[in-house]
């Protein structure tokens, strides 16, 4: 489920449930998700540790833990299909449970079908990340300066986590449509007004997704398929009518909500991009 807004909403749900709890045991079902450690190193480190803080940085969950007076960080990343949730201790584990933390009355489950997600005790990857798009240190001037140095198509550049951290393939298309900018435009060719529109579009799209996600109940037990949340192009609202959540992503061939022309799908850097040829230049 994971781009910045989904991770943000997950963190907000997990934080109150997790803080203050102590890890009693660690079971690793899939070593692959551990970086750069072995299962033994993870359990040695985590057993007896208490959750002090939980923050989001880009698409990472940053857990701050404390054990014997010493604080350290554990990074969680959901990859493409990861989930994290709490269940009552003893609940049968779902398919593809990768790591389970025993908290006593509850278990904290990290499940990931494709195992692209990570539990990482080395937080150094965070230093390579660019600014948080919703944070006060994200400045339009620096954003434009970074774009000016690249000839890559703007859509591809938006996925570069060292330029802006947290945008993924879905919200890259969404932000460009809102800003009225072609995904094919080389990053260095954005004009100042375009860079400003994109800067604002990014913040608007991510902020909106967080607001919507915050009102949707998360599927903590990981049952069913209802936790796709924001990724449904349409979802029924309380009145039973369809509510549009995504403007262009995964809507190839359907009418643009702004002008009615058909949404196009193209491939850039081996990934799908969706856009409206009429509205985006």
∠ Cα 192 140 3 (to 5°)? 115
88 is catalytic: no
Residue position matching structure tokens 């990859």: 79
Q: Looking at 50, 265, 271, 277, which residue is catalytic?
A: 271
Q: Which is nearer to DNA, 23 or 251 (CB)?
A: 251
Shortest CB 141 distance to DNA, Å: 18
Contact 97, 110 (CB under 8 A): yes
Token readout for 222 is 């990981």
Q: Which is nearer to DNA, 10 or 46 (CB)?
A: 10
Shortest CB 138 distance to DNA, Å: 17
Q: Which is nearer to DNA, 7 or 179 (CB)?
A: 7
2 is catalytic: yes
Helix 169-179 to helix 192-214 angle, to the nearest 10 degrees? 120
The sign one gets for the Cα dihedral 267, 174, 84, 70 is positive
Token readout for 12 is 């907000």
| DSSP SS3 for 194 | helix
- Interacting residue ranges for DNA, rule: CB under 7 A: 1-3, 6, 32, 58-59, 77, 79-81, 95-96, 113-116, 125, 128, 149-152, 156, 159, 161, 168-170, 228, 231, 269-272
Q: Looking at 5, 8, 56, 59, which residue is catalytic?
A: 59
Residue position matching structure tokens 């493409």: 80
Q: Which residues of 196-216 are buried (b: 16+ CB within 10 A; e: fewer)?
A: bbbbebbeebbebbbebbeee
3 is catalytic: yes
Shortest CB 268 distance to DNA, Å: 8
Q: Which is nearer to DNA, 68 or 95 (CB)?
A: 95
128 is catalytic: no
Q: Which residues are catalytic?
A: 2-3, 59, 271
């Amino acid at each position: 489920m994971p781009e910045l807004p989904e991770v943000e909403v997950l963190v907000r749900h997990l934080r109150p449930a997790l803080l203050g709890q102590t890890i009693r045991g660690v079971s690793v079902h899939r070593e692959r998700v551990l970086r750069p450690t072995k299962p033994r190193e993870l359990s040695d480190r985590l057993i007896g540790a208490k959750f002090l803080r939980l923050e989001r940085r880009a698409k990472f969950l940053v857990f701050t833990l404390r054990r014997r007076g010493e604080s350290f960080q554990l990074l969680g990343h959901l990859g493409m299909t990861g989930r994290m949730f709490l269940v009552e201790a003893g609940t049968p584990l779902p398919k593809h449970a990768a790591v389970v933390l025993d908290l006593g009355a509850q278990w904290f489950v990290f499940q990931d079908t494709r195992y692209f997600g990570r539990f990482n005790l080395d937080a150094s990857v965070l230093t390579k990340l660019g600014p948080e798009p919703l944070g006060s240190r994200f400045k339009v001037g620096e954003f434009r300066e970074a774009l000016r140095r690249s000839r890559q198509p703007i859509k591809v550049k938006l996925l570069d986590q060292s330029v802006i951290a947290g945008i993924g393939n879905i919200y890259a298309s969404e932000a460009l449509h809102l800003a009225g900018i072609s995904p094919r435009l080389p990053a260095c060719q954005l004009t100042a007004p375009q860079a400003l529109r994109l800067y604002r579009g990014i913040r608007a799209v991510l902020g909106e997704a967080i607001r919507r996600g915050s009102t949707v109940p998360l599927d903590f037990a990981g049952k069913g398929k209802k936790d796709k949340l924001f990724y449904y192009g349409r979802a029924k609202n309380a009145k039973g009518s369809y509510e549009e959540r995504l403007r262009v992503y995964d809507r190839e061939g359907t009418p643009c909500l702004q002008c009615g022309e058909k949404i196009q799908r193209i491939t850039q850097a081996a990934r799908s991009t969706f856009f409206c040829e009429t509205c985006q230049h």
